[in-house]
Structure 1
Amino acid sequence: MILFPAIDLKDGQCVRLKLGDMAQATVYNPDPAAQARAFEEQGFEWLHVVDLNGAFAGESVNGAAVDAILKATKNPVQLGGGIRTLAHIESWLARGLTRVILGTVAVRDPALVIEACRAFPGRVAVGIDAKGGKVAVEGWAEASELGVIELARKFEGAGVAAIIYTDIDRDGILIGINWESTLALADAVSIPVIASGGLASIEDIRRMLRPDARKLEGAISGRALYDGRIDPGEALALIKSARQAEVQQ
């Protein structure tokens, strides 16, 4: 079980959005590289990064900030936002990313995702962002008619490293993860699922460690960490204790 701290990039700064709205952005750190270092020093083992401008533009916009993050931390980094071509995937992986997250292109061109998984085994994740149970694309600006599980099942057996599932209706407003739909997705596919959107308190960490949620790869936390609603030491200690208990079973 992994707790992924999030760095969302807008105009080169570390921000959090409310309900996926670019107009409702709060700047938490003007230096994303420093934020990446801080997360590593707190004991986190991974880093989740999103190029928000890139998600809307359909191409990387905050590349300089991502490069600075990669130089600043030894932790593995996963990046989503505006990654739409094989050449783009290859370029980012060569620059030091551990894995890329494909969102809009997973809806528009599932065959490209499957091709990317073959070319870069274990290094391609799929981001599924849902609003009202339907998949949203283009930086959450457009809704599709695809259901979440319907899309996820297209990638069964393709070698997708993980599915990052975000409930947009909960993102950035600290009301708790949508456990019902997240666990339903995890039950429906064999691909590891990472919960995202709404993680609000240490109670969400405890919920994540209950037996029915152990099938998840982990969860992403943004605003709750930045606002101090979750103490990193306490959260990581709970996860470590749960891991040790699992090993002893």
Structure 2
Amino acid sequence: AAKPYSEHWNNVMNELLELDFTMDPTFNIYEASRDLQRARRAEWHEEYTLPSLWEFYQPSKVSHGSYWHDWGTEQEVAWKNNYKLWMTFINEYKNRGGRVTTGSDSGFIFQLYGFAYIRELELLREAGFHPLEIIKSATLNGAEALGMDDKIGSVAIGKLADFVIVEENPLQNFKVLYGTGAVKLTEDNEVVRVGGVKYTVKDGIVYDSKALLADVKRQVDEAKAKSNYTIKQPGIKN
């Protein structure tokens, strides 16, 4: 909360740099705090969020992270201002040589596994990271933080083959990495979906990513069918 570039701010920054501290901000997991409606209306919830998880997301005094007792404009504006401070610190930490990695902390506050991780890439971009710096944060930096950069983190002879294949350019638009793809308008005025990871290669084994996503949808459909469950927004009974 210190003023950016103030003496206290720089003291904290310098101490963390001296400690070779790794920052994994997980911006996404708190994003509902600055825009609750956006987070709870994300298009993937309808098909890929299990009923049990959707129930866990709802306002509650007992469920972790479900603290929307009386959430409104004032709270969201305060969090938007907090994000400006937070992102400024993280971006400058990276600029001064600090290690920043990519994580999602998914599973509560309307952040869904897989999708939230891609959102984290977008939020790092908002913080001021160049797209290539974001890719490095999500790959090599993470491997270094885990002490595994001799095995993973980059494409090199002798390392494990761990990467994803997508037919679009994520450096131009990270949204093409979402399982639901990115919306695009063609020259013929047709609305289409492009992207979505096509293949995931893990330890040299190739997986059909779209088939895996379809399997998640099947599991969600089966869970809904068991109890005739329909996703509804908070407070809506019918």
When normalised by structure 2's length, the TM-score is 0.28
Task: Indicate the structure (1 or 2) with the bigger Cα radius of gyration.
Answer: 2
Q: Which has more helix, going by share of residues?
A: 2
- Give the number of the structure whose residues are more often strand, by fraction: 1
TM-score scaled by structure 1?
A: 0.27
